[in-house]
Amino acid sequence: MYDPLQLSRIVEKQVTRGNERKYYRFRGGRWYGGIATADCVGCNLKCVFCWGFQPRDNLRSYGRFYTPEKVFRELMSIAFRRGYKLVRVSGNEPTIGRRHLLELLEFFEQTEKLFILETNGILLGYNKNYAQELSKYTHIHVRVSLKGTDEEEFSKLTGAKPEAFRLQLKALGNLLNYNVSAHPAVMLSFSTYENLKRLKDRLREIDKLLVDKLEEEYVFLYPHVVEQLKKAGIKPRIAFTPDNIPVEFI
């Protein structure tokens, strides 16, 4: 098992350069009702269901370095052409490369666009000052994606040390303590109802409103994801094919 914090440091050295960060794609999409997306390279988790595992695992061969201003311009161009009000960084883990992310957020403070920060929360849970820094931005909402409902599921799905799951929960607490708009999402394809119930009890201990805001997340069976799951010997209880994703998950 690996330590996500140690992996963060290793990955950061390869995907950041000064205030630059590696990205492999810019795109528009139907999620959130329409959003401009920059897909970054490199993550501190190795989820077995990850659809972006190739840029996650091939840091040298994927993507190229972009300054925060260049990423801003790419996202704004897509948003303008398609009439989107939302932008995001996705694909891997955007909190790796703190300087780059904060400078990128500075640019969006000058716009009316809402920046959706999609993160596993590991670094925000480990360092409350990171969450505090996010609190100075008014055009941000943080979506913390929990990898399973408890330590055991987390470790099974990511291969990481089980205790790192608690950093995901800690991230939610840190964000709320600094009045940063946030909500939890949870991967439920591999979970039982009983485990979900226990997770909700833990979320209530942080803030009872988190349960009401909890977003359900399920595996989408892209061919490369199916192959990864087979290799790991893990079968989802609930999953959807890319051409049959329920509208409520888009």
- Low-confidence residues in the chain, pLDDT < 70: 247-250
The helix-helix angle for 98-108 and 68-82 (nearest 10°) equals: 40
Dist. CA 173–CA 222, nearest whole Å? 33
Predicted pLDDT at 247: 66
Helices (H) and strands (E) in the chain, counts: 11, 11
The CATH number of the domain holding residue 189 is: 3.20.20.70
Dist. CA 16–CA 207, nearest whole Å? 35
Contact 179, 137 (CB under 8 A): no
- Structural domain boundaries, residue 98: 4-249
pTM over 0.85: yes
Radius of gyration of the chain (CA): 17
Predicted pLDDT at 135: 97
Predicted pLDDT at 238: 81
Predicted pLDDT at 250: 57
Predicted pLDDT at 125: 98
pLDDT in tens, 53-91: 888 889 999 999 999 999 999 999 999 999 999 999 998
| DSSP single-letter state for residue 188 | -
Place of tokens 């608690």: 166
Domain count, the chain: 1
Dist. CA 116–CA 119, nearest whole Å? 9
Predicted pLDDT at 217: 86
Predicted pLDDT at 249: 62
> DSSP string of 99-129?
HHHHHHHHHHTTSSPEEEEEE--HHHHH-HH
Predicted pLDDT at 122: 98
β-bridge mates for residue 181, sequence order? none
Predicted pLDDT at 38: 97
